[in-house]
Amino acid sequence: MSFPETLRVGIHFELICPWCFIGKRQFERARQDFARQFPAVAVATNWHPVQLLPGLPEQGLPFKEFYEQRLGSAQAVRQRQQQVLQVAQRVDLEIDFAAIGRMPNTRQAHALLRQVAMMDGPERYEALLERLYSAHFQRGEDIGDLATLRSLAMETGISAEDFAQGTTAVAAATTAAAAIAGVPYYDFGEGISLSGAHEPEVLLTAMKLAMDANTQHNLQELGT
């Protein structure tokens, strides 16, 4: 017996979380390996925004001062950033903390992503998501600034009208940070979840386990 197979993966993320940027790269590698091993199984990826710091001022805060206050000292910040950079290197990802000037409020950026999710396909969504991460972590652009967001939207083929609709529809809810065990957070199929940035091999294993679980569930539904 054969039937269409789709593995659904949900990913909870925040745009100012370096582990989420790393997790995106790790998942992309796992997804590519999965496609090579299981070409008949489609992977449907759903991205779920989580705003970790909704109380930040709309104009954001100075990045360096924010993290020194949050972690307690400049030394603690350097240690944390070095830890991030070491993991990022394993997936060939460059992060330039020195270029970041502001810690942005991500409310408008998430609203724009939600608008793209409603009007377009996953390719456009992931292109914008990648550009937002690159803007913050590699180019030092302020993704809390409307003019910057408009420019990034245009680069990824989003019209001025759609941009305006996205950034005014800010009432749409993001996932509450307390509702999940940190970000990035992955839901694979039915009942398999992982929290944190994991190596591609770990994510690939989770995808395989989820596919097996979904297959068993489908067979039970069909009474076989």
- Indicate the domain borders of the chain: 6-222
**pLDDT for res 175:** 54
Close Cβ partners of 57 (under 8 Å, ≥ 6 residues apart): 105
pLDDT one-digit tens code per residue, 78-97? 999 999 999 999 999 999 99
3-state SS assignment for residue 57: coil
Q: In the predicted model, is pLDDT for residue 172 greater than 50?
A: no
**Region 151-172 average pLDDT:** 73
State how far the Cα of 184 lies from the Cα of 166, in Å rounded to an integer: 24
pLDDT of residue 3: 36
Q: Domain spanning 6-222 has what CATH number?
A: 3.40.30.10
pLDDT average, residue stretch 120-147: 93
Q: Give the 3-state secondary structure of residue 126.
A: helix
Residues of the chain with pLDDT > 70, as a percent, come to 86
pLDDT of 110 higher than 70: yes
